[in-house]
Structure 1
Amino acid sequence: MTDDICGYEGTGGDGPCQNPATDGDSCWIDAHGGHVDGHGRPSLLEEHEDDILAAAREGLTYEGIARVAGIGVSTLHDWRDEYGDFSEALERARSEAERELIQDVDAEFVLERSYGYVKTEKREVDMDADVDASHDVTADFVTYSPEDDGDE
């Protein structure tokens, strides 16, 4: 075996294995003395991780982050599932972007979208109507005109 390739002499008769030696002495194939976990083709994650995290800090969606790296969003999710450190770094980067975006956006909008907050107002209105105080009255339509709004 050389330093760069597995070199395993199998029974296939094709000569020694030419796969890269990923753990120092063999390739990722079990029968050659290696194992699949963490071995094999180098991940694009290593190549694009900095760009991915920078895109996440800018507030891009997962789809946008994947486009920056030139990968599918399913690959990005696979990497999140497979690499715990990467997943934590990605979520921290997205959290940073979220805090920045919230500071730039109307707080009521964020509360409404994220927490189901609904703004209610109570206003006093004048209504011209004959009302018999002994009965409950429900108004189906009330027109509100703010005072001194300049429309008159």
Structure 2
Amino acid sequence: MGVMRFRVSPPGFLDGWPEAEQAYISGFDGRVFPTRVEREGDELVCRRPSSDSGRLHVAWPVPGFGRTLISTSSLREQDTVYLLALELARGKIGQLRNQLAAWEISGMSVPEGFDEASRQAHQIFARATSAQDDPDEASRLSEAALVHAHNSAQMLTSA
């Protein structure tokens, strides 16, 4: 059985987040693995029949956007607990980069202001990754990066 653990910060955040138990993991091909999600203290524990790497998908509150379904990048199982907000920011920023590349390859124009909004998301995310020894601060920064990444994505889709 495959198990992935995600720390949710700040403590108590899980109490006001009913969608957490509806999270699921998908494979690189998008196939959804049956996933049992449990809360253990300040951790979200995801169990599934496979030990393959995968992406966690979950409805996450993003200020100004509501609870959006976002995902991590592809993660491997490991003994170390992942910091959920950080991994969601990494996944959203990766998705944004991939979408931008697809637009550029297709010859589509990138809206004005996108580069700066995207740069802010990357810079804040970089600070979050370097603050992992303080999970509350890393989560706060990751959530700010998510807001900038969502703003950037909205610019692309509204152009």
TM-score range for the pair, normalised by the shorter chain length: under 0.3
Q: Which has the higher strand share?
A: 2
Structure number with bigger Rg: 1
Higher RCO (C-alpha 8 Å, min separation 6): 2
Q: TM-score, normalised by structure 2?
A: 0.25
